[in-house]
Structures are given as structure tokens and as C-alpha cells.
Chain A
């Protein structure tokens, strides 16, 4: 192969890897931002996984029954909101252990989704494949077609930026929005305050519980979109355990990103890139190494997570009141 051809195929490979990274990052970004709202308000959320799974199932089930992607999205968000509310009742209102209730929600979602899928659709833990109108298909951004011939910029625009589904665009919009809300709005200031020093927020006459419930409401909506993204945009219907640990990866990305929106996005992109590369590596024979066992490649995102948590967590400082139920002096 001549030099120009090799360089061309490498750039095509890189472009398509970047495109899949952007796509695969979306549910992680949404879930990690959901965790960001909860944890900046002082509520640990290990239940991202369960909320995504519930939303993925309910969204796909409703979309499959009604044929409407919009109704599916709404139902998915409602399911995640319901679980977020339950988490709030246990963790905020009752002052229970936040990790325990998050883990409980994960188990409830892991058990309830395949039960209901089997009972309603008779397909052993999944929903039937969605017809095209009930899914979120790729949306080409304006000018994508005409710019596709422009070297570099045009190619990047058409392959990486354009041609994603609605939830993916929502994920990318959510990052600057969250950064703005946290840094520049009254709600954001109060959210950060209630996570650092609930006593001060209480003394200022604001309700700690109400602020934390509000944070969990945002959390539920974002988890809902994340779940719907899995089953109705990237997948074609719900599969048993389809969140496959992404909720926990998102939590690790949140810690790695030090609970700040832009670094969290970077962390999610790292995990997504690992995921995109692992999809390409399967069955490939690497020069000098031979073929890598498929199981090792599949375990890659989890190994990277552990390595990151081992290497970088020391430098991160969580919100001061994280995980502590607020109990005013009596």
C-alpha cells in the first residue's frame, strides 16, 4: 500500500473511532451529569445504573406499544424520576444510608425489568425490536451533505459532529448547560452550597430537603434520557441488563472529573474511547502480541475504571456533606 493510501485509511479509521466515541459517550455523559447534580447537592447516587435500566425498559416498552418515540422518551424519563423520588424519600426524607438505598434501587430495576419484559412481550427479558418510527434515528445537521466533500473540516463535521440521534445531541447540550447552571444561576449556587454546608443553607432560611429533591428531579430526567438513549437510539429495543455497568462507570467518571461538568465530560470521553476501541479490537490480530482474548477486551473499561480510581482519586475532593443525611440540631 502506498503512503497516501495508508494515511488515508488511518484517518478514516480515526474518524470513525471518534464518531463512535461521541456516540458511545452520550449515555455516560447523561448519567454522569445526573450523578453530578445529586452529588453536588450532597446525595450519593449509586443508583444511576438502576435508573438507566428502568428508563431503557419503560421507554422501549412504551415506544413499542404506541409506536411513538416521543412517548417512549417521556415514559422512560417518568420511570427514572419515580426511582429518583424513591431514593429521595429513603435518603433525604428518612435520612437512611444513601449507598444502601441506591443499591436497593439497582436490584429492584434489575429484577423488575426482565420480569415485566417477559410477562408483557413473552420474549425472555427483552422487548421486541422497535419499528423505525419508534426509535431515535440519526439526524443529519444542516449542510452535512454539502460539506462532506470539504477536506478535514467537512469530514470531521459530517462523521463526528453530524448524524447522531436526538439523545446524543441532548447529552452534548447538557454539558454546557450544566456548567452554566452550576456557575451562574441561583439554583446552581444553592445546589453547591447544600452539598458543602447544609447547615449554612438551613440557617439562610432555605429548605435543605427541597433543594436536594430538586437536584434528584434533574438527576431523574437525565438518567431517563440516558436509559432511552441505550434502548431506543443505540440499541433497537430493551435487552436484559443492557446498562452493563455504565451507571457505575458514570459514577467513576464523576469522581475522576472531580464533580465538575467539563472534566466529567473528558472522563466520559475516555471511557467511551476505550469502549469504541474494544469494539474494533475484537478478533483483530495485533502485530507482536497476537490476538487478544475477547474477554480481556470486554473487561477493558472496568480495568481502566479501577486504574483511574486507584491513581487519581486522592487529588479529588468530594462535596463536603456528600453522603451525610442532614439532621438539624434538636
Chain B
């Protein structure tokens, strides 16, 4: 019975929140003064209508898988990591430093080192809030948000004063050598019937799937994962059972930061080929992805594709209807988070309880 209830919730809650989110977008478009039906159609067509749209959708989805895992893993330990933005920015710094220092080394070596550095810098940026939560009880939600602001200031300073390419005014580093540009769907399909235009979808997408798998193995097949889940379900009981909860907090939050740092790999080596401002918002989208995917890796991947489609569709929408900006995508994310959180409470609270009682009573009568 419990299982059935949970399975039902796992399907119904995302479906409901999606419907409400799309209605909210339609409502917003209506208030703005455009045709909501045409807007939704443009959104879907832009995201899935041609190879280029699909390529972009999956490229954004790659970001969101990492961002979703960055929220989902600490969430299983009962912690809310809102620092994905800052952790991703620092991941970009780590990867860039590797590229700029290793210069002439073989491309594969640089890429491997960049992956390690991005994850490491992301984890390091999550480390201070994690320690403060574990040792001093400082509220992780607030400290990670503060670290987003601090990261933004730090990255601007670094770009202005240190990393900016000499002799130019744009706030970006010099372009990475082309040996470090990952092959994209666009390169692969150029000139064929499935020409994907400029879509920067690249092999990091497969790496994101691998990360989701690692997340599952870590949580469900290792002692550490067991301890993380135990600490998330009941920290006091976990402590009593001999689990050192501060250590779990530290590991869970820093692993989340490492996942967030990997966003930069997809962006820097797949699309931008230089460090400039990372596109804002992936870190926050991660919250929506983690909640919609209910912390399950398969759910996270599906939710990431969905939000990738929403993001790409939103771009097409703002191109087609200039009055509608891409900010409507942020609204949709917010609505999804809101409905997921609310319905989760409903399932766990009164209504879920009475449904469960009703079910067991009728099952008993039948028997």
C-alpha cells in the first residue's frame, strides 16, 4: 500500500505541477497581451520541433542534470543547497585555471584535469557553508545564498582584474585552443538532413547520465549513501546509531557542490570556449529539477530534459514574441517548485493519512 501510494505520488505530483506551471505561463502570456495558445505551441515547437531545438534542449538538460543532482544529494541528507549558482561559477574558475596553466599539454589530459578541478572548486565553494552548518548550526539555506552573491562579486573581480584577455574590453578570458572544443551535435550533423544548426550538445551529456548513475550507486549501494539517507530521515536516530552526522553533512553538501561545478564543463568546453559570465539560473533550476524528479536519478534526468525543453522553448518564444521575455521560464520553475512542495505536504499530511486509512479499511473488508 505504501509503495503504491508513493508510486502514485511520484507520477501524479510531477504531472499536476507541470500542468499548473504551463497554465501559469499561459496566464502570464495572456496578461502580457499575447495569444497563450500560440505561445505554448511556439514553446513546444522551439524545443522539440527540429534537430537544432532538440540539440539545445538536451544541452540545457545536461546543465540541469548536474544542477538537479547538486540539490538532490544534500536533500537526501535533509539539507537544502541553494548555492548551485555560486558553486557552478567557481567550477568554471577551476576549469579555466587548468586550461590557462596547462597550456600545451595533450587535450585529453587538460580535459580530465578540468573535470577534476571544476568538481573540486565547486565542492570547495560548498565547503564553508557545509562546515558552518555542521559545526556551528548556521542555516545552510542562508549561507549558500550569501555565497552565491559573494561568488558573483569574486568572479567579476577576477574577470576585471586578473583573467581578462589582454587588449580587449569584453569581460572574458582568451578563447580556449580549439583542440579543447568538444565535438557537438552541430559539427556531427552539419550538411546532413538532420542539420542541428548551432546546437552545442556534446559528449558531456553522456557524462551527466553517468553522474546520475554514480549518484544512485553512491546513495543506494554504499555505506556512505546509507548514512546520508539515515541522517536525512532522522538525524537524531542516525546520531544514536553511531553515524557521525556532521561528517555526513559535510560530505553530502560538498558532493552537491562538486556536481554543480560540473555544469561549467558542459558550458565552457561545449559552448562558450572561454570563461565569461556563466548563464545565470541553472543553479536555481536545479531546485525545480530535484523536486520534480523526487530525488530519484531517473526522475532527475527526465525533469532535466523537461526544463531543458522549457528553457529552449522559452528562448524560441521570446524570439517569436518579443513582448514575452525568457523570465517566464523562471516563473514556470517557481510554480513547479511551489506545487511539488505543496502536494508533497498534502500526501504526507491529513489527506494522505485519511486516504491510507480508507485504503487499508477497504482492503481488510475485501479480505
Q: Which residues of B contact A306 (CB under 8 A)?
A: 128-129, 132, 138, 143, 146-147, 150
Q: Does A161 contact B (CB under 8 A)?
A: no
Say whether A104 contacts B337, CB under 8 Å: yes
A248 to B80 CA separation, bound complex (whole angstroms): 15
Tell me which of B138, B153, B323, B340 contacts A313 (CB under 8 A): B138
Query: B157 contacts which of A112, A116, A296 (Cβ < 8 Å)?
Result: A296
User: Measured between C-beta atoms, what is the minimum distance from A79 to chain B in Å?
Assistant: 13
Q: Interface code B336-360, partner A: CB below 8 Å = 1, 0 otherwise?
A: 1110111111101110011001000
A-contacting 9-mer, from B58-66, B249-257, B325-333: B325-333
A114 at the interface (CB under 8 A from B): yes
The answer to whether B193 has its CB under 8 Å from any CB of chain A is no
- What is the interface residue range for chain B against chain A? 35 or more
Known contacts being A248-B146, A295-B156, A302-B149, is A310 close to B141, with CB within 8 Å? no
C-beta contact mask, A107-147 vs B, less than 8 Å → 1, else 0? 11111101110111000010000000000000000000000
B residues with a Cβ closer than 8 A to A are 28, 31-33, 80, 82, 128-129, 132, 136-139, 141-143, 145-147, 149-150, 153-154, 156-157, 160-161, 284, 287-288, 291, 323-325, 327-338, 340-346, 348-350, 353-354, 357
Check if A309 sits within 8 Å of B287, measured CB to CB. no
Are A104's CB and B335's CB within 8 A? Answer: yes
Partner of B340, one of A100, A305, A309: A100
Sample of 8 further A-B pairs with CB below 8 A, known A111-B328, A296-B157: A101-B338, A101-B342, A111-B327, A111-B331, A119-B324, A248-B142, A306-B147, A309-B143
Can you name the residue of chain A whose Cβ is closest to the Cβ of B82? A103
CB distance from A88 to the nearest CB of B (A): 11
B349 and A100 form a contact (CB under 8 A):
no
Chain B, Cβ-Cβ closest to A108? B334
Known: A108-B331, A293-B157. A96 touches B325 (CB 8 A): no
- List of B residues within 8 angstroms of A116 by Cβ: 28, 31-32
Q: List 8 A-B contacts (CB under 8 A).
A: A105-B334, A107-B330, A116-B31, A118-B323, A119-B324, A245-B146, A306-B143, A310-B138
User: Which residues of chain B are within 8 angstroms of A106 by Cβ–Cβ distance?
Assistant: 334
| Chain B residues, CB < 8 A from A245 | 145-146, 149
Contact A302 to B146, CB < 8 A, known contacts A111-B328, A295-B153, A310-B136: yes
Check A314/B137 contact, CB under 8 A, given A104-B335, A108-B335: yes
B22 nearest CB across to chain A (Å):
14
Residues from chain A with a CB closer than 8 A to the CB of B139 are 255, 309, 313
Please give the distance in Å from A207's CB to the nearest CB on chain B.
14
| Chain A nearest Cβ from B4, distance in angstroms | 20
CB distance from B336 to the nearest CB of A (A): 8
With both chains docked as a complex, state the minimum distance between the C-beta of B71 and any C-beta of chain A, in angstroms. 10
How many residues belonging to A are interface residues under a CB distance threshold of 8 Å?
Answer: 51
Q: What 1/0 mask marks residues of chain A from 319 to 330 whose CB sits below 8 Å from any chain B CB?
A: 000000101001
Interface string of A289-300 (1 = CB under 8 A from B): 000010110110
The 9 closest A-B pairs by CB, nearest first: A111-B330, A96-B345, A107-B334, A100-B341, A104-B338, A108-B334, A95-B349, A111-B331, A104-B337
| A251 CA / B327 CA spacing, docked (Å) | 26
- Known A89-B342, A96-B344; judge A115-B331 contact (CB<8 A): yes
Name the distance in Å between B279's Cβ and chain A's nearest Cβ.
15
A112 and B132 contact, Cβ closer than 8 Å, known pairs A86-B338, A94-B345, A255-B139: no
Which single residue of chain A is at the shortest CB-CB distance from B354?
Answer: A330
Q: Are B327 and A90 in contact (CB under 8 A)?
A: no
Which of B82, B284, B350 is the one whose CB lies under 8 Å from A327?
B350
* Beta-carbon contact of A118 and B342 below 8 Å: no
Q: Let me know if B349 and A310 touch, CB within 8 A.
A: no
Contact B328–A115 (Cβ < 8 Å) = yes
Q: Which chain A residues border B332 with CB–CB below 8 Å?
A: 111
B346 touches A112 (CB 8 A): no
- In the assembled complex, A31 has its CB within 8 A of some CB on chain B: no
The docked-state distance in angstroms from the alpha carbon of A65 to that of B160 is: 40
Chain B residue with Cβ nearest A248: B145
From the candidates B160, B337, B342, name the one contacting A107 in the complex (CB within 8 A).
Answer: B337
A108 and B33 alpha carbons, distance in the complex (Å): 19
Q: Which of A248, A296, A327 has the most CB of B within 10 A?
A: A248
- Which residues from chain B contact A115 at a C-beta distance below 8 Å? 28, 32, 324-325, 327-328, 331
- Which residues of B lie under 8 Å from residue A46 when comparing CB positions? 141
